Structure formats: C-alpha cells, structure tokens
Amino acid sequence: MTITLYQFNISPFCDKVRRALRLKGLAWNTVEVPLLGAGKFRHISPTGKFPAMTDGGKTIVDSTEIIRYLDTLVTEPRLIPADPRERGDALILEDWADESLYFFDVTMRNWPQNRAWFMDDLLHQERGFKKRMLSRLLAGPLRKIARTQGLGRKSESEITIELARHYDSLCARLEGQDWLVGSAISVADLAVRSMVFVLDRTAEGKALHDARPLLAAWSQRVDAMTLSSEAPAQPPATPRPACKRPPARARAPVAS
C-alpha cells in the first residue's frame, strides 16, 4: 500500500499530519493542492477540505481522522492516549488548537507587518503579476474570516495580549512535565506545536514564544521527534527553565 497526502503545504493541519507520519516511521507521497485549484481534487475530498490522505483504496479526510487512522495502522507510538482521562485531555487540547489557536494564525499573519511573509507562504506556487494580484485579493477574504469568527474584531494589542495568556497557560501545563498530556508525546503536542510553529512566522508570536523558555524547550522536544525523517526514540534532554512572562474573487484555502 502507498500512502499519499494531499495538502496545502502552509497549513498547520497538514503539518500536524506530516509530523504524525514521521513519528510513526511511515513513508508517504505528497501532492500539493494548488490554492486556486482545489476543485480539481473533489474526487479526493468532496468537501474541498485538506489534508486528505489515501492509503490503497481508502481515503481519509480531516487531520484528526487521519491521526485516528494512523493509530490503527501503526499502534506505537500511540498519539491518542489509551487512558480515558488522558485521551479526553489530548482531544480537547487538539480541538482548542484547531479551533482557537488557528484563528490567531489567520488573523495575525494577515496584519500588514506580517502579510508579505504570509502571502509568500500561501502563494508559493505563483509568480510575478499573478502573485501580486492574488496577494491583494486574498487579504480581504482572510480578514472577513477572522472578523466573522470574532478575533478579527479586536485590536492588534488585544489579540497579542490574548495569545500571551494562551502561551502562559501552556507553560503552566508544562511545569514539571515534558508533554502536554501524560508521560508521552500525543496528538495534543502535535496539534499545538503545529499552530505555534506558524505563529512564529509573525513578529508578535515569535517574540511571545521566545520570551517563554519552558514553551521553547517543549517546542524543541516535539520538533526533535517529528521534524526529522528519522525521529529518535527519545528526544534530547532539555532543561526545564521557569516560564518567564514578558513585561475574480479569491477564496481562502480550507483546511482541517
């Protein structure tokens, strides 16, 4: 059987799945879905949502469902904990990352000071005039998504303070432990790290992350196990410093 991942490379949801595949030691092929050509892949994902994955004759859509499937395919390391309480905590944290932190990504990366890098990532397959035109056209729909959700109605300073509080909550959870849930890496770590990873591509998110050594050390542990094609059995030892607090109409891509 051959695993094929259909993805938007920029998507944190797709990053979550790639991290899971590496952690499981699985090989896969990648098909990059064009930003303006997702309709050509309706036979893979009828909803137009990505990531989607095929394994032989089986198709799985949605990052959470893909990870559930991967846990049945390769049972260790298990990403959805077996313990009922830990499983509940891990899935709640994953949902929080997917449904809350994600909108900080959509909102903050579209701020004027961060937008050029965002559009470079979003339109990495485009060139020249078309890329410049799409950069202008996409800013509005992305802003509308953020305002509809609610976060985009707040000021930049309010949003930055709110993200700082979220990061402080993660630090509090990491006090005295290596992982967000239990004694092993889980879907919670993959989901949250994938969101923090893209938020580092904003000036504000990077500053907040760097100001919290406990969060940065956790990020290094997750990356050590999920960014290399040959993930080590155990991450390198890292200190646990204290968590310090610092004083045609273009459509946005759909991910899951």
- What digits encode the pLDDT tens for the residues 177-197? 999 999 999 999 999 999 999
Residue 239 in any domain: the answer is no
Establish if 165 belongs to a structural domain.
Answer: yes
**199 located within any domain:** yes
Residue 158 shares a structural domain with residue 181? yes
pLDDT, tens digit, for every residue of 115-171? 988 888 888 777 788 788 888 888 899 999 999 999 999 999 999 999 999 999 999
Domain that holds residue 61: 3-73
Residues 185, 156, single domain; the answer is yes
User: What is the rounded average pLDDT for all residues in the chain?
Assistant: 88
Structure tokens at 172: 């509090």
Total domains in the chain come to 2
In a domain, 245, yes or no: no
What residues contact 102, with CB distance under 8 A and at least 6 apart?
Answer: 12, 195
Residue for token digits 């759909």? 254
As given in the structure block, the two tokens for residue 29 are: 């092929």
Q: Which residue has the tokens 């990356």?
A: 223
Residues 120 and 185 in one domain: yes
Do 54 and 111 belong to one domain? Answer: no
Torsion of CA 203, 204, 210, 215, to 10 degrees: -130
d(CA 68, CA 62): 10
Q: Identify whether residues 118 and 59 lie together within a single domain.
A: no
In a domain, 249, yes or no: no
Instruction: Examine the pLDDT at 238 and tell me if it is beyond 90.
Output: no
Among residues of the chain, what percentage have pLDDT more than 70?
88
For the chain, the straight-line distance linking the first and the last C-alpha, in angstroms and rounded, comes to 24
Which of 39, 73, 107 delimits the end of a domain? 73
**234-255 mean pLDDT:** 42
Say if residue 183 is in the same domain as residue 141: yes
Tell me: do 107 and 170 sit in the same domain. Answer: yes
pLDDT at 125: 75
Instruction: Residue 19: give its domain's CATH number.
Output: 3.40.30.10
Are 61 and 104 contained in the same domain? no
**pTM, full prediction:** 0.86
Whether residues 57 and 95 fall in one domain: no
Could you tell me the pLDDT band of residue 231, with boundaries at 50, 70 and 90?
very low
What CATH number did the domain enclosing 172 receive?
Answer: 1.20.1050.10
Does residue 27 sit in the same domain as residue 130? no
Both 114 and 25 in one domain: the answer is no
The verdict on 35 and 143 lying in the same domain is no
Residue 128 belongs to a domain = yes
User: 103 is written with which tokens?
Assistant: 């909108």
- pLDDT confidence band for 39 (50 / 70 / 90): confident
Residue 78 domain-assigned?
Answer: no
Residue 120 domain-assigned (yes or no)? yes
Contact between 203 and 113 (Cβ < 8 Å): yes
pLDDT at position 184 = 98
Helix axes 156-174, 203-210, angle to 10 degrees: 30
